[in-house]
Amino acid sequence: MGHRSYKKKVLGSVLTTLVVLSAVNFSSAGQIATYWGQSGNDDAGSEGSLADLCNSNNYGIVMIAFLSVFGRGQTPVLNLAGHCDPPSGSCARYASDIATCQSQGIKVLLSLGGASAGYGLDSADEARELAQYIWDNYMGGSNDNSPLGAAQVDGIDLDIESGGSSFYSDLGGRLREIAQNNNYKQVYLAAAPQCPFPDASLGPAAGKFLDASLADFVFVQFYNNPDCDFQAGVSGIVSSWTQWTGNIPGTPEIYLGLPASTAIAGYIDSSTLVQSGGVLEQIKGIGNYGGVMLWAPTTDRTYATNIKGSV
- State phi, psi for 197 to the nearest 5 degrees: -100, 135
The whole-angstrom separation of Cα 42 and Cα 48 is: 4
The yes-or-no answer on residue 281 being catalytic is no
- Asked whether 158 and 131 are in contact (CB, 8 A), the reply is no
Going by their DSSP bridges, the two strands 61-71 and 74-78 should be labelled as antiparallel
- Asked whether 209 and 248 are in contact (CB, 8 A), the reply is no
The one-letter code for the residue type at 308 is: K
Three-class SS state of 109: strand
The whole-angstrom separation of Cα 14 and Cα 251 is: 33
Q: How far is CA 259 from the centre of its chain?
A: 14
| Phi-psi label, residue 241: left if phi above 0, alpha if psi -120 to 50, beta otherwise | alpha
- State phi, psi for 112 to the nearest 5 degrees: -105, 135
Which residues are CB-contacts of 1 (< 8 A; sequence separation ≥ 6)?
none
Going by their DSSP bridges, the two strands 31-36 and 289-295 should be labelled as parallel
Quote the Cα angle for 137-142-145, to 5°.
Answer: 55
Among the options 161, 177, 253, 281, which is catalytic? 161
The residues that are catalytic are 161
